[in-house]
Amino acid sequence: MTLPVVLISEEEIQTRVGELAEQLSTDYGETDDLVLVGVLKGSFIFLADLSRRLTIPRTIEFIAVSSYGSNSTSTGAVRLVMDVRGNIEGKHVLIVEDIVDTGHTLKYLIGMLESHRPASVKTCALVRKAERAEVEVQTDYLGFDIGDEWVVGYGLDYAEKNRTLPYIGIVTPDD
Ligand code: IMP
Ligand code: MG
Protein backbone atom coordinates (compact mmCIF):
# COMPACT_ATOMS: atom_id res chain seq x y z
CA MET A 1 0.00 0.00 0.00
CA THR A 2 1.40 3.39 -0.96
CA LEU A 3 1.39 6.27 1.51
CA PRO A 4 -0.63 9.41 0.78
CA VAL A 5 1.33 12.18 -0.96
CA VAL A 6 2.40 14.92 1.46
CA LEU A 7 0.40 18.13 1.09
CA ILE A 8 1.17 19.78 4.44
CA SER A 9 4.22 18.53 6.30
CA GLU A 10 4.39 17.70 10.00
CA GLU A 11 6.65 20.70 10.54
CA GLU A 12 4.29 23.09 8.75
CA ILE A 13 1.37 21.80 10.81
CA GLN A 14 3.22 22.15 14.11
CA THR A 15 4.34 25.69 13.25
CA ARG A 16 0.82 26.74 12.29
CA VAL A 17 -0.77 25.11 15.35
CA GLY A 18 1.69 27.06 17.50
CA GLU A 19 0.70 30.31 15.76
CA LEU A 20 -3.01 29.59 16.22
CA ALA A 21 -2.48 28.80 19.91
CA GLU A 22 -0.61 32.05 20.38
CA GLN A 23 -3.35 34.04 18.63
CA LEU A 24 -6.07 32.34 20.67
CA SER A 25 -4.17 32.88 23.92
CA THR A 26 -4.06 36.59 23.11
CA ASP A 27 -7.66 36.88 21.92
CA TYR A 28 -9.16 34.92 24.85
CA GLY A 29 -6.61 36.14 27.38
CA GLU A 30 -9.13 38.15 29.39
CA THR A 31 -11.61 35.31 29.87
CA ASP A 32 -11.30 32.33 32.18
CA ASP A 33 -14.25 30.45 30.75
CA LEU A 34 -13.05 29.29 27.36
CA VAL A 35 -14.41 25.90 26.31
CA LEU A 36 -12.86 24.07 23.38
CA VAL A 37 -15.47 21.87 21.73
CA GLY A 38 -13.75 19.23 19.63
CA VAL A 39 -15.74 17.66 16.82
CA LEU A 40 -15.24 13.88 16.83
CA LYS A 41 -13.55 12.08 15.44
CA GLY A 42 -11.48 14.15 13.04
CA SER A 43 -10.39 16.90 15.42
CA PHE A 44 -8.88 14.73 18.15
CA ILE A 45 -5.22 15.21 17.25
CA PHE A 46 -5.56 18.89 16.33
CA LEU A 47 -7.43 19.53 19.58
CA ALA A 48 -4.80 17.68 21.62
CA ASP A 49 -1.93 19.70 20.14
CA LEU A 50 -3.74 23.04 20.08
CA SER A 51 -5.06 22.81 23.64
CA ARG A 52 -1.65 21.90 25.04
CA ARG A 53 -0.10 24.96 23.47
CA LEU A 54 -2.60 27.47 24.84
CA THR A 55 -1.26 29.56 27.69
CA ILE A 56 -4.70 30.44 29.08
CA PRO A 57 -7.26 28.48 31.15
CA ARG A 58 -9.59 26.26 29.11
CA THR A 59 -11.82 23.25 29.44
CA ILE A 60 -12.49 20.56 26.86
CA GLU A 61 -15.77 19.15 25.56
CA PHE A 62 -16.52 16.84 22.68
CA ILE A 63 -19.39 16.66 20.27
CA ALA A 64 -20.00 14.07 17.58
CA VAL A 65 -21.86 14.46 14.32
CA SER A 66 -22.22 12.35 11.28
CA SER A 67 -22.79 13.52 7.75
CA TYR A 68 -20.68 11.20 5.67
CA GLY A 69 -20.79 7.42 5.56
CA SER A 70 -17.61 5.59 4.80
CA ASN A 71 -17.23 7.34 1.48
CA SER A 72 -16.60 10.92 0.49
CA THR A 73 -20.02 11.95 -0.80
CA SER A 74 -21.70 14.69 1.19
CA THR A 75 -25.44 14.56 1.66
CA GLY A 76 -25.58 17.98 3.31
CA ALA A 77 -27.61 16.41 6.10
CA VAL A 78 -25.91 16.57 9.49
CA ARG A 79 -26.96 14.42 12.43
CA LEU A 80 -26.01 14.94 16.07
CA VAL A 81 -24.55 11.73 17.47
CA MET A 82 -23.30 13.05 20.82
CA ASP A 83 -23.94 16.41 22.48
CA VAL A 84 -21.59 18.20 24.90
CA ARG A 85 -21.74 16.80 28.45
CA GLY A 86 -20.80 19.86 30.46
CA ASN A 87 -22.82 23.03 30.92
CA ILE A 88 -21.60 25.61 28.42
CA GLU A 89 -24.18 28.29 29.22
CA GLY A 90 -22.48 31.67 29.62
CA LYS A 91 -19.13 30.31 28.44
CA HIS A 92 -16.99 31.22 25.45
CA VAL A 93 -17.19 28.33 23.03
CA LEU A 94 -14.56 27.63 20.40
CA ILE A 95 -15.54 24.86 18.00
CA VAL A 96 -12.42 22.93 16.98
CA GLU A 97 -12.99 21.19 13.66
CA ASP A 98 -10.66 19.22 11.43
CA ILE A 99 -11.86 20.43 8.06
CA VAL A 100 -14.50 22.66 6.50
CA ASP A 101 -15.65 21.24 3.20
CA THR A 102 -19.18 22.29 2.09
CA GLY A 103 -19.69 24.11 5.41
CA HIS A 104 -22.89 22.26 6.34
CA THR A 105 -21.38 20.61 9.43
CA LEU A 106 -19.94 23.79 10.91
CA LYS A 107 -23.09 25.78 10.21
CA TYR A 108 -25.20 23.13 11.93
CA LEU A 109 -22.83 23.01 14.91
CA ILE A 110 -22.86 26.76 15.43
CA GLY A 111 -26.68 26.75 15.60
CA MET A 112 -26.72 23.69 17.82
CA LEU A 113 -24.22 25.11 20.31
CA GLU A 114 -25.89 28.54 20.31
CA SER A 115 -29.02 26.85 21.64
CA HIS A 116 -27.05 26.11 24.85
CA ARG A 117 -26.86 29.90 25.42
CA PRO A 118 -23.08 30.34 25.56
CA ALA A 119 -21.51 33.82 25.88
CA SER A 120 -20.00 33.43 22.39
CA VAL A 121 -19.41 30.84 19.68
CA LYS A 122 -16.39 30.98 17.40
CA THR A 123 -14.82 28.46 15.06
CA CYS A 124 -11.34 27.12 14.52
CA ALA A 125 -10.58 24.71 11.67
CA LEU A 126 -7.29 23.18 10.70
CA VAL A 127 -8.12 22.97 7.00
CA ARG A 128 -10.69 24.52 4.67
CA LYS A 129 -11.60 23.72 1.08
CA ALA A 130 -12.74 27.22 0.12
CA GLU A 131 -13.86 26.36 -3.40
CA ARG A 132 -16.23 23.63 -2.14
CA ALA A 133 -18.29 25.96 0.06
CA GLU A 134 -22.06 25.49 -0.33
CA VAL A 135 -23.18 27.55 2.63
CA GLU A 136 -21.72 30.67 4.17
CA VAL A 137 -20.05 29.96 7.47
CA GLN A 138 -17.36 31.86 9.26
CA THR A 139 -14.06 30.21 10.12
CA ASP A 140 -12.65 32.58 12.73
CA TYR A 141 -9.34 30.75 13.05
CA LEU A 142 -7.94 28.75 10.17
CA GLY A 143 -4.83 26.64 9.71
CA PHE A 144 -4.67 26.13 5.96
CA ASP A 145 -6.71 26.65 2.80
CA ILE A 146 -6.45 23.76 0.35
CA GLY A 147 -7.96 22.87 -3.01
CA ASP A 148 -10.63 20.33 -3.83
CA GLU A 149 -8.77 17.20 -2.77
CA TRP A 150 -9.50 14.43 -0.29
CA VAL A 151 -6.97 14.65 2.52
CA VAL A 152 -6.02 12.31 5.34
CA GLY A 153 -3.74 12.36 8.35
CA TYR A 154 -3.47 14.45 11.53
CA GLY A 155 -6.93 13.17 12.55
CA LEU A 156 -8.48 13.12 9.08
CA ASP A 157 -9.47 9.82 7.54
CA TYR A 158 -10.66 8.16 4.42
CA ALA A 159 -12.90 5.22 5.38
CA GLU A 160 -11.29 5.29 8.88
CA LYS A 161 -7.78 4.88 7.50
CA ASN A 162 -4.69 7.07 7.90
CA ARG A 163 -5.95 9.16 10.83
CA THR A 164 -2.67 8.96 12.70
CA LEU A 165 -0.28 10.06 9.99
CA PRO A 166 1.75 13.01 11.35
CA TYR A 167 1.29 14.98 8.11
CA ILE A 168 -1.68 15.81 5.87
CA GLY A 169 -1.63 13.91 2.61
CA ILE A 170 -3.75 13.48 -0.49
CA VAL A 171 -5.57 10.27 -1.40
CA THR A 172 -7.70 9.51 -4.41
CA PRO A 173 -11.06 8.14 -3.22
CA ASP A 174 -12.11 5.12 -5.19
CA ASP A 175 -15.85 5.70 -4.93
P1 IMP B 1 -18.86 19.62 5.42
O2 IMP B 1 -20.11 19.51 6.21
O3 IMP B 1 -19.08 19.32 3.97
O4 IMP B 1 -18.13 20.94 5.61
O5 IMP B 1 -17.94 18.44 5.86
C6 IMP B 1 -17.17 18.49 6.94
C7 IMP B 1 -16.77 17.11 7.38
O8 IMP B 1 -16.56 16.19 6.29
C9 IMP B 1 -15.46 17.20 8.09
O10 IMP B 1 -15.65 17.46 9.46
C11 IMP B 1 -14.85 15.84 7.82
O12 IMP B 1 -15.27 14.93 8.80
C13 IMP B 1 -15.39 15.42 6.48
N14 IMP B 1 -14.45 15.73 5.39
C15 IMP B 1 -14.61 16.61 4.38
N16 IMP B 1 -13.57 16.65 3.56
C17 IMP B 1 -12.68 15.76 4.05
C18 IMP B 1 -11.37 15.32 3.62
O19 IMP B 1 -10.78 15.78 2.63
N20 IMP B 1 -10.78 14.38 4.40
C21 IMP B 1 -11.37 13.84 5.50
N22 IMP B 1 -12.58 14.23 5.95
C23 IMP B 1 -13.23 15.17 5.22
MG1 MG C 1 -15.04 16.67 11.08
Q: Which of 32, 83, 98, 101 is catalytic?
A: 101
The residue whose CB lies within 8 Å of the most ligand 1 atoms, and thus the one to mutate among 7, 63, 68, is 68
> What is the percent of the chain with per-residue pLDDT over 70, rounded to a whole number?
93
Residue 68 reports pLDDT greater than 60: no
Ligand nearest to the CA of 151: 1
> What is the residue with the minimal CA distance to atom 3 of ligand 1?
102
Residue range 2-52, pLDDT digits in tens? 889 999 999 999 999 999 999 999 999 989 899 999 999 999 999 999 999
Amino acid 175: pLDDT: 52
Measured in Å, residue 80 CA sits from the centre of ligand 2 at: 12
In the chain, where the domains are located: 10-148
Amino acid 120: pLDDT: 97
Residue 97 CB–ligand 1 contact under 6 Å: yes
Lowest mean pLDDT among 75-84, 93-102, 114-123, 150-159: 75-84
Ligand nearest to the CA of 163: 1
Residue 153 CB–ligand 1 contact under 6 Å: no
Amino acid 174: pLDDT: 66
Q: Is the Cβ–Cβ distance between 35 and 63 less than 8 Å?
A: no
Residue range 80-107, pLDDT digits in tens? 999 999 999 999 999 999 999 999 999 9
The four Cα atoms 74, 76, 82, 85 give a dihedral, to 10 degrees, of: 130
Amino acid 139: pLDDT: 97
Is omega for the bond preceding 41 within 30 degrees of 0, making it cis?
yes
Q: Residue 90, exposed/middle/buried by CB under 10 A (0-12, 13-18, 19+)?
A: exposed
The phi-psi region of residue 156 (left if phi > 0; otherwise alpha if psi is between -120 and 50; otherwise beta) is beta
The CATH topology of domain 10-148 is: Rossmann fold (3.40.50)
- Work out whether the CA dihedral 67, 69, 74, 76 comes out positive or negative: negative
101 among known catalytic residues: yes
Residue 98 CB–ligand 1 contact under 6 Å: yes
Mean pLDDT computed over every residue of the chain: 93
